[in-house]
Amino acid sequence: RRFTAVFGIDSNRVTSFYSNTGRGAVVGSVVVGEKELYQSPVMREGMTGQNVAVPLGDANSFDLIVRGKDEGIIERVDFNQADWADAQVELTDGRTIRIGDLPTAPLARVPSTDLPFSFVYNGQASSEFIHQWEKSWSDDVVGPDITTKVLTLSDPQSGLTVKCDVTVYKKLPVVEWVLTLRNDGKTQTHLIENVLPLDCEFERDNEDEFVLHHSNGSPHSLVRMSDETDYAPRETVLSPQSNKKLNSLIGLPASNDLPFFNLEWNNRGAVFAIGWPGQWQADFVRDEHRGINLKAGQQDVSFVLEPGEKVRTPRIAMLLWKGGDWLRAQNLWRSWMVSHNLPRTADGVLPPFQHNASSSAHYIESSGATEENQKMFVDRYVDHGITPDYWWIDAGWYDYADYWLNVGSWNPNKNRFPNGLKPISDYLHQRDMKFILWFTPEMVTRGTELDLMQKPWLLKGGAEWWMGHALIQGEYPAHVNDSGLTLMEDVAAFGTGNPDATATTKQSLADGKWHLVTATRFINPDTEKSELRVFIDGELNAFAVSNNLDLMNKNDSFGVGRQYQTRGIVGEIDDVRVYDVALDASQVRSLFKQQLDVKPSHHYPFNKSVKDVAGGIDGEMIGSGDFRFVPGVNGGDDSALVFNNDYGVKIPNSAYENYTLSCWLRMDAPQAPPWGRGDMRLLDFGDPAAAEWITEYVDSRITSQGVDLYRHDGIPPLSFWNANDESERR
């Protein structure tokens, strides 16, 4: 409505070493559009400032212009400078704003209305094609506190459907959403990767900077149980071209950072929460100007969906705030958590605080617990006036060998609990206490009850390629660019290092028959990924990708049958070949049929010798003893080399970029467990029969032992395991 100010030249010597007394020649103007509404006389230092009062009408913007005249420049010293002092604008609603209190342009863009999530489908970013998909919004479902709606996006070609369930809260500035990806088609989807339920951008004004308020998790809980830095608040300034990563470790959601954080800028901000009880990651990336990109979701996602299958993402919650007080925003978020997320009793009341106790600190979890000492501990609590709500018996109450982590036999240890755990449960109930018991039924150790009872339902554990027994093994003892093809008991594993990537086959090779095992590494220029494939008898059996495109040249040699000191195989190997190209699927099939016309770099047919009939670099003995030969894959005069973990054959590594490793293998029994986590198995909960059986198995223990609360730990955590029964799913 109206602009007022005092216009004139300051009396100062800021602009020059020379005195500006009486100098300067400046004219000030107020302009709306192309119309000048005010022009001052020529102003000089020492003159009384001009009172300016200009009606603006209903203008949305106006310009303040200062023009210096040539006479204000003396001996090339420019004395032209001016102020609009006490500049104010009266708005049409009666409010008055001091211009000096406003932020300096450029201001932040209006927030984008783009989808706040993204994914990669068939190698293409969703932002490039999602606008072509069929799109629909459901009708709003309005409740007393929330409104829910569903956005559905469908690909008419492949049948992939992405559903976004949105919840908007009425009393607090919170919205949350979760994605479900479903295959409504009749065939397998393309590869789905990098699914990010949170992918959005923000821009700040010209002033201030982005500040991230976040908190430690409990990184020491895995080793030391606690530390003075656990859950400590942190503050990170995100300056141009900087980045910050928050994440969890080994599948435990609060083991490194807490999945809650507050991003502040220009007296406003957003609080985010990532709902995911496993491996998550959030990346904050600042551009060189005023923008920031925030991506968050589950780590390392790559999978296909069969017809009818679906998968959900982590849930995202976002609270938008303004007003300059980030601590007030924290309390708004806490209010939302308490009001809408904490479990309540049937009458809507928060349950009272629960106190549980145990003797784990005294008995190495519960590996030293007995019926007698558990009752003794309970009595000591009660005698001193403390009645816990729950008594917790932790890991080690069951039968195991050597170490409490060797789980898989979920029966009370007969030596320490000859009457089972029911007497302890009864003892607790007589004292108004309930009973917590620890389980981790998905993990099965070799030789335990579940291993002996249900072998067909057990997946092999998350051992990596370098832990296996040498087929054509080039493992170098460090995090370096190395590579190798190995055996994990009865399956093959191929991988590269730095960081490790492993493709593990699923077909058992321990059947006494000859099998061709072929591994290829191909650097795909289109995806800029390193693709690892393993073929069994000419057919693709395992696939993995790596971001490492470097030359795999740290290992100058491979060990066939055994590497430099240990991890040899028990079995027979024939016709070892190394190619300096990645054979394609049709070429591998031709190799299996022994019809391939591509010449290898090195070829060791093992016909009564370890000569290289292609590259001329003969093999060398690793270990000791005499080479022993047996009939080979082709019979007749063809021979193969037999191994018994006593020797190996050293051959050169001369193909570093794209290459193929191949050999024929025969073995009668699985190899010993691989070094490291080889004794572990994972129960296949993806098999409905297995899930139903283990549920009944555990429930029978809960019922017979009088357990009130089932405590479930996932050990080892999820990042230790790969879905090696589904080579294209991570």
Mean pLDDT across the stretch 13-23? Answer: 71
pLDDT of the residue at 622: 92
pLDDT of the residue at 88: 96
The whole model's pTM is what? 0.70
Query: Which has the higher per-residue pLDDT, 725 or 675?
Result: 675
Percent of the chain with pLDDT over 90: 71
Q: How confident is the model at residue 15 (pLDDT cuts 50, 70, 90)?
A: low
pLDDT of the residue at 724: 47
If one looks up domain 463-666 in CATH, what number appears? Answer: 2.60.120
Sheet of 192-196, strand order: 124-125, 118-121, 192-196, 302-303
Q: How confident is the model at residue 561 (pLDDT cuts 50, 70, 90)?
A: very high
Q: How confident is the model at residue 324 (pLDDT cuts 50, 70, 90)?
A: confident
CA atoms within 13 A on the CB side of 540: 16
Mean pLDDT across the stretch 81-98? Answer: 92
Mean pLDDT across the stretch 671-682? Answer: 68
Window from 267-281, 403-417, 707-721 with minimum mean pLDDT: 707-721
Q: Name, in order, each residue with C-beta under 8 angstroms of 150's C-beta and a sequence gap of 6 or more.
A: 137, 138, 163, 164, 165, 166
Same CATH fold assignment for domains 118-340 and 352-457+683-711: no
Q: Report pLDDT digits (tens) over 572-581.
A: 999 999 999 9
Window from 25-29, 80-84, 592-596 with minimum mean pLDDT: 80-84
Instruction: Determine phi and psi for 204, rounding to 5 degrees.
Output: -95, 170
Q: Where are the domains of the chain?
A: 2-101, 118-340, 352-457+683-711, 463-666
Q: How confident is the model at residue 224 (pLDDT cuts 50, 70, 90)?
A: low
Q: How confident is the model at residue 461 (pLDDT cuts 50, 70, 90)?
A: low
pLDDT of the residue at 551: 95
* CA 237 – CA 211 distance, rounded (Å): 5
- Decide: helix, strand or coil at residue 336: helix
Q: How confident is the model at residue 717 (pLDDT cuts 50, 70, 90)?
A: very low
pLDDT of the residue at 229: 87
On whether the CB atoms of residues 551 and 481 are closer than 8 A, the answer is yes
Q: Report pLDDT digits (tens) over 351-376.
A: 888 999 999 989 989 999 999 999 99
Asked whether the predicted pLDDT for residue 48 surpasses 70, the reply is yes
Asked whether the predicted pLDDT for residue 566 surpasses 80, the reply is no
pLDDT of the residue at 575: 98
Q: What is the largest CA-CA distance in the chain?
A: 114
Percent of the chain with pLDDT over 70: 94
Mean pLDDT across the stretch 618-623? Answer: 94
* CA 363 – CA 356 distance, rounded (Å): 17
Write out 244-290 in H/E/C secondary structure: EEEECECCECCCCECCEEEEEECCEEEEEEEECCCCEEEEEEECCCC
Superfamily name with CATH number, domain 352-457+683-711: Aldolase class I (3.20.20.70)
Closest-CA residue to 647 (of 557, 576, 566): 566
On whether the CB atoms of residues 652 and 661 are closer than 8 A, the answer is no
Q: Report pLDDT digits (tens) over 327-347.
A: 999 999 999 999 999 999 999
Q: How confident is the model at residue 89 (pLDDT cuts 50, 70, 90)?
A: very high
Q: How many helices (H) and strands (E) does the chain have?
A: 6, 50
Mean pLDDT across the stretch 650-661? Answer: 96
On whether the CB atoms of residues 484 and 474 are closer than 8 A, the answer is yes
Closest-CA residue to 3 (of 25, 30, 28): 30
* CA 132 – CA 135 distance, rounded (Å): 9
Query: Which has the higher per-residue pLDDT, 468 or 728?
Result: 468
Window from 258-262, 583-587, 712-716 with minimum mean pLDDT: 712-716
CATH 3.30.230.10 fits 118-340, yes or no: no
pLDDT of the residue at 298: 93
Mean pLDDT value across the chain:
91
Residue matched to tokens 């929330």: 146
Instruction: Determine phi and psi for 488, rounding to 5 degrees.
Output: -110, 90
pLDDT of the residue at 226: 73
